Chains A and B, each alone.
Chain A
Amino acid sequence: MAATIFLIVISAVFSQNFILVKFLGICPFLGVSKKTNSALSMGIAVTLVMLLATLVTYPLYTYIMVPLKIEYLEIIFFIFVIAALVQMLEKIIEKISPALYRSMGIYLPLITTNCAILGVAELLLVNDVSEIVSGVAAGINMNLGFALLYALCSGLGFTLAMLLMGGVREKLEKLPVAKCMKGFPITMVAACFMAMAFYVFALL
């Protein structure tokens, strides 16, 4: 049990990092990582929505869609749940804390089309934990607790990658870069080196 939890945490945060290894959520990774502050806000917002979305979509799929035999509608259901959640969260944050809303508000609508959220909801639709986390002994059934833990750690891994990239890009702005390499290309090359660093975790 403890070993499974440990492996899920390590795998979701480092060795199977959503951005740098699985290529999910690259758009915000490239778009909102110019400053460390905005990268952190985006990371927290994504983690929150990921957790909430899993809390709704996993039971929805397991306890409603499977018994009714409407699994084939999962994409439509999930995207609707995520869009509704994001809208709701936006309104709640606006009411509770206007300051937080101002700093985070513009990123929230973007999260609907963030593939990391739909990706985590889709990835979790397995019967066995070992299918998504390598190293776990086969035969451990997926349940809501593991699903939530996986979602939380994926979100943390996402935030970590965003933060690192934000730091790298703040420095990158000041460097003299060839004209055609400015902007996306140099960011991609920086991401390449970060991905190499994270690849080492997968080898451990």
Chain B
Amino acid sequence: MVNATTLTFVVYLIGMVTIGIIAFRLTDSLSDYILGGRSLGPGVTALSAGASDMSGWLLLGLPGALFAAGMNQIWIAIGLSVGAYLNWQLVAPRLRIYTEQASNALTLPDFLENRFSDETRLLRVLSAVVILLFFTFYTSSGLVAGAKLFEATFDMPYDAALWIGAAVIIAYTFLGGFLAVSWTDFVQGTLMFLALIVIPFVTLQQVGSWDAVTAAVAETNPEFLDAFHDMTVLGIISLAAWGLGYFGQPHILARFMAIRRVSDIPLARLIGMGWMVIGLFGAMFTGSIAIAYFGPDQLDDPEKVFIVLSQVLFHPMVSGILLAAILAAVMSTIDSQLLVSSSAITEDFYRQILRKEAPETELVWVGRISVVIIALIATLLATDRDSSVLSLVSYAWAGFGAAFGPIVLLSLMWRGLSRNGALFGMVSGAVTVVVWKAQTGGLFDLYEILPGFIVCGGVAILVSLFGKPASEETLVEYDRIRAMWR
């Protein structure tokens, strides 16, 4: 059994590296390496954005939460779906047009500097440092999660799992950059999607009917059917507020910047939202149906619902494909974050500040070397699986969401946002997240992204209205570009 499953894994990993080699041949410039030369079709854009966003949580965490606590976990799925939709609707087309029109911005810090004609470079440097710092820890934390998973599932030594996983990710990201990351994300997203359809479907056939599932859930704990049990208003708002994070995640926004044509966005949005919502439903059904399949208290770790179902219900070869979907979910997030970190070094520091005249070939190699250096730092950090540094990751989703989210939204939808408004908004949003998270009890139990988002947006608007106004140059450019998306 182990051999068939292992064989499937090896084929999967070789497939990922092969994609990297193909993408290598198509990568000539820095724009190719960090943004795929803005050539992604709607399907690849959609699944790449989705797979970069959803990590192992979709296949392990969410089914486990439904299995262990019932329907009160649906709030996060609702919040994420609405947030992702609004991101596609409000941000994607505007950001695609603006980043290309305003001096061909290749990164989020690039866009912010160009949008506000910031000659001090503060916006660029500050945002690039934050991206570099948090994504290195984020990558490291993802590697820890992946290695722990394979240690537990296959009795593989932690360090071996860690270095094999890191080597494969480094190989294809190093070689093929954004195209390799996006194409592998597409394959990985497809694997995740299939797994989240097949597992609940087959498990439901074993259980018999949906009525049998609801009866079993009600018998286990009638409160499992109630979305409000054990939930406070703050708890519900906190879960739903996760959706606010989308507007500020650099690795997801990069997909919007890389789509081939703005006119492809409606189809990409449809594919992306269909993938996400069906995936979320699949994960939730998996957790619910598993209650009927296993009976109460039959699993020591609820987060292993997906893994155990893959192993007991399917032929080892199929089981290997389904388990590879978990690895795919983890890898597709890590590779995107790794590449965004490399982009911050290459575009925002090396090209813009250190070597303005550097030729494209040199820049691509700086990008590749940055990928290796960041990945090695992240992997070395991950060798200490209990490192306290990794706890910084818990700030990342809220931090990016609160510091960048309102600024991205306002900069694309309000001509009056000034450079100082953006700068003070970003800093105040980030500080609010850190301070709020350090407090406990009462209102401070609210997920920090919400106060951070409100403070960032509020400060940005107030400073823009009452401080030094947006420059004439930025207003003229905003109006010119705005006319293009109307």
- Does A pair with B? no
Interface residues of A (CB under 8 A from B): none
